[in-house]
Amino acid sequence: MVTSPAGIASTVINVKGLTNRFGQQVVHDHLDLEVRQREILGVVGGSGTGKSVLLRSLVGLHTPNEGTVEIFGQQLQSLNPSQRSALERRLGVLFQGGALFTSLTLLENVALPLIEHIKLSRSDAEHLARTKLALVGLPADSADKYPAMLSGGMVKRAALARALVLDPEILFLDEPTSGLDPIGAAAFDQLIVTLRNALGFTVFLVTHDLDTLYTACDRVAVLADRKVLITDTMARVEAVNNDWIKAYFHGPRGRKARTAANSEKEV
């Protein structure tokens, strides 16, 4: 992570007093959260805690009822369309299902943001799109295939290439390993870490995958009781005296993921 002269990592996302309501249901109640530059922050919580709603609030797809979202020191809600568009180009989003256009090839899917947002010619956009597809580990012949012709893992990688095509400074991932087999999920986790280390972007990662939390995340934020219960390293999160944390991190699957991660570090 990038740190300030005082040794404190710079904050790139600052959420204050965020409240999200849907009718009588309160999903977030004055939630606070900070995301640091170049970290991989994993966001977890039980069903209904609003993990994906939080992500959508941060990227501007959902307008919160109260509170502020600052990204790079700018309040998303107060920006005019031109300013907001400029800020959004600094963000990349990978949705849970990939959200690729099924009628477009992978090459066309990845090239589209370059054509739409920065008005590149089709040939230039496709040249850069091929580079991004290679960056995420896809073979050259995948470029001309349609999403329906590919495995779930390849679709996820193509969606990642599209999220990265504008060289974002923050990458938002919504359940990126959902639906992948354990080998594919582990490879995707390692890809995210490798790309973060090489390119220096920040990652906001919503997940339920314990292996991802232990192997890829620098810090973990736990959503509970409509707020962020804790944001800290895995070791400190595990030590919190909370029933959900105990059940989630200290159950059989949590112990297995922790053991596997520790074994990997020792190799």
- Given a contact cutoff of 8 angstroms between Cβ atoms, the answer to whether 166 and 118 are in contact is yes
- Per the model's pLDDT, the better-predicted residue between 266 and 164 turns out to be 164
Q: Which residue has the higher pLDDT, 254 or 38?
A: 38
What 3-state class would DSSP assign to 257?
helix
pLDDT value for 147: 94
Round to whole Å and give the CA distance between 29 and 178. Answer: 27
The token pair at 102 is 């099924």
Instruction: Determine the 3-state secondary structure of 14 from DSSP.
Output: strand
What's phi and psi for 35, nearest 5 deg?
A: -120, 130
Could you write out the three-class secondary structure of 49-93? CCHHHHHHHHHCCCCCCEEEEEECCEEHHHCCHHHHHHHHCCEEE
Which residue, among 123, 125, 124, 158, has the nearest Cα to 143 in the 3D structure? Answer: 158
- Which pLDDT does position 264 carry in this prediction? 67
Please say if the pLDDT value at position 236 is more than 80: yes
Q: What is the pLDDT of residue 211?
A: 93
Q: Output the CA angle 85-90-95, nearest 5 degrees.
A: 90
Residue 67 near residue 15, CB atoms below 8 Å: yes
Q: How far apart are CA 178 and CA 156, in angstroms?
A: 10
Mean pLDDT of all residues in 212-216 = 94
- Whether 100 and 159 have beta carbons less than 8 Å apart is answered as yes
Report the alpha-carbon distance of residue 85 to residue 79 in Å, rounded.
9
CB 95: neighbour CB atoms within 10 A? 18
Does residue 178 register a pLDDT over 60?
A: yes
φ, ψ (nearest 5 deg) of residue 74: -110, 135
Q: What pLDDT is attached to residue 165? A: 95
**pLDDT tens, 26-60?**
999 999 999 999 999 999 999 889 999 999 999 98
pLDDT for the residue numbered 4? 38
* pLDDT exceeds cutoff 50 at 210: yes
> What is the DSSP code (8-state) at residue 258?
H
Which range, 4-18, 164-178, 253-267, is most confident? 164-178
Task: Convert the pLDDT of each residue in 80-100 to its tens digit.
Answer: 988 998 999 999 999 887 789
| Structural domains for the chain | 1-90+169-267 (3.40.50.300), 95-167 (no CATH)
What torsion do the CA atoms of 218, 219, 220, 226 make, to the nearest 10 degrees? -150
Average pLDDT of the residues in 145-172: 94
Is residue 6 over pLDDT 70?
no
> What is the structure's pLDDT at 266?
57
pLDDT of residue 227: 95
Q: What is the mean pLDDT of residues 178-184?
A: 90
Write down the pLDDT at residue 93: 95
Distance CA 100, CA 184 (A): 19
DSSP summary character for residue 218: S
Calculate mean pLDDT across residues 147-151. Answer: 92
Averaged over 65-70, what is the pLDDT? 94
